[in-house]
Chain A
Amino acid sequence: MTDSTVPPAPEAEEPRYSPLHDVHVEAGASFTDFAGWQMPVRYSSDLQEHHAVRQAAGLFDLSHMAEIAVVGPDAGVFLDQALAGTLSTIAVGRAKYSLLLADQGGILDDLVVYRLDDHDFLVVANAGNRQVAFDTLATRAHGFDVTVDDESDDTALIALQGPEAEGVLDELTTQDRLAPDAPLSTLRYYRVLRGTFDDVPVLIARTGYTGEDGFELYLDTETAPTLWRAIAEAGAPRGVVPAGLASRDTLRLEAGMPLYGHELGVETRAAQAGLGRVVDLTKESFAGRENALPEEGARVLVGLTLDGRRAARAGYAVVDPAGAVVGEVTSGALSPTLGHPVAMAYVDPALAAVGTGLGVDVRGTTIPATVVALPFYKRS
């Protein structure tokens, strides 16, 4: 038996380790290289971790992600110029999903921006795009009264995702360890508040990437293992388990969330990926604006469900009933929650309507597929 779809590890530089690495080793994690980081891919079973997030909660280490602080009197107007969305008008304590566009219009990264104060924003970028995101923001900051600092090395990120997440964190507040500056129950989706954990500052955001309710907690790398253990301990009776990147990928796929390098890339225009709403063309100018719109006829992202149990994988051809190639799969898996294969794919726009019958070439066999609305899974 050989593994035909896992690419060989790149000629890596010295691998990087999360501040939680020792905790993961203790928990029996298997590791994978992710953007140069050795990150947990699973602790026990991808499927168990996936189901735990849907039914209880999963604890994720996302310390490899990039945190870029944008601070100064011009922070809001600078971000309006540097990113595709309008950030200057969001309220303090809010988060917004945005895109960093190349001057040529393609997507350099997708990111979440938190407004922590009037002149204080935190930009969270993908690990693999850390340098590009930082360099691009720093370059675009010229002429603005703003500082752009890469705080990634000093910042750990722990996500707790799932229906039990609020209850578990509430328990830590009851123990007087986690002290948010407002009750967590009042923290709505895509909002952030400041707090402390064991008297160390922590940002608590109600954001995530799994399709579940949940929180993302940013704090210094030194305190991160203590917070992780505290959540794990408080969560264990409620069914909380540590969850790795493998389950994270099937969770985000079910939730129809695009992944950079799969659904998004520098050749992708936002509207192709269904992210047209993220690009604010009412702004007179921002980086990439002139080229932000896709060419007419450009392929668009759709959801597909497939017959049977064989999964469509990234790179597989999408075909029309006559067998002509009309698109390509960007992500696919047998959905653990739904029990049938799901995939995201770029297809010719004429074939993108919900209900369209297509096929996917799964290693030489055409498997019938149907275009469906995204997301595949929505929590009730």
Chain B
Amino acid sequence: MSDLSTLKYTAEHEWLLIDGDTATVGITDYAADKLGDVVYVDLPAVGSDVEAGKVVGEIESTKSVGELFAPVLGTVLEINDAVVDAPDLVNSSPFDDGWLIRITLSGDLPALLSRDEYVALTAE
């Protein structure tokens, strides 16, 4: 399990692991739990440009459809083929094997949430 305190978060329930100019992006355990069993993910093409706040993919569960937003400006470096083949990784390992895309960052990072801020946001 990744050290969740080192991750950044968005209010749309994505997490980001930022390493130099690369951001690995997934959705949080909270979001995966709310969605239920994920049965299909649609991810952007490698090499495509993405913009913070724009829809780049979909995450479908048995019951509903969630949109995946790009949390940052950049270019898709890699997508997680394993999760395309086995979407349940989003549920079983949201912060590790269930990561979704890697983005090469362009420009400055937008404002992101710390772990504490995200936990406070999702406290029920």
Contact = CB atoms under 8 A, between A and B. Distances in A.
A163 to B, nearest CB: 22
Contact of A3 (B35, B37, B88, B91): B35
B65 A4 contact: yes
Interface stretch (A289-297, A308-316, A350-358): A308-316
Contacts of A50: 62
A313 B60 CA distance: 11
B69 interface: yes
Interface in A331-348: 333-334, 336
Contact of A6 (B31, B64, B67, B68): B64
Nearest to B26: A1
A1 B37 contact: no
B59 interface: yes
Specify the main secondary structure of chain A where it touches its partner: mixed
A2 B66 contact: yes
A45 B13 contact: no
B27 interface: yes
Interface residues of A, number: 24
A5 B65 contact: yes
Contacts of A313: 65
Q: Which has the most chain A C-beta neighbours within 10 Å: B14, B42, B65?
A: B65
B60 A2 contact: no
A3 B67 CA distance: 7
A5 B67 CA distance: 10
A1 B66 contact: yes
Given A3-B34, A310-B40, A334-B40, A46 B63 contact: yes
Contact of A336 (B12, B40, B60, B62): B62
B12 A1 contact: yes
Nearest to B27: A1
A245 B65 CA distance: 17
Contact of A309 (B31, B39, B64): B39
A246 B62 contact: yes
Contacts of B31: 1
Given A47-B37, A309-B39, A311-B40, A1 B60 contact: no
A249 B63 CA distance: 9
B67 A1 contact: yes
A47 B14 CA distance: 24
B35 A42 contact: no
B22 interface: no
A338 B34 CA distance: 24
A4 B67 contact: yes
18 contacts: A1-B31, A1-B69, A3-B35, A3-B65, A3-B66, A4-B64, A4-B67, A5-B64, A6-B64, A30-B33, A45-B37, A46-B62, A47-B62, A246-B63, A313-B65, A333-B62, A363-B58, A363-B65
Given A3-B65, A6-B64, A334-B39, 14 more contacts: A1-B13, A1-B14, A2-B13, A3-B64, A3-B66, A4-B67, A6-B63, A45-B37, A46-B37, A47-B39, A47-B62, A246-B63, A249-B63, A311-B40
Interface of A: 1-6, 30, 41-42, 45-47, 50, 246, 249-250, 309-311, 313, 333-334, 336, 363
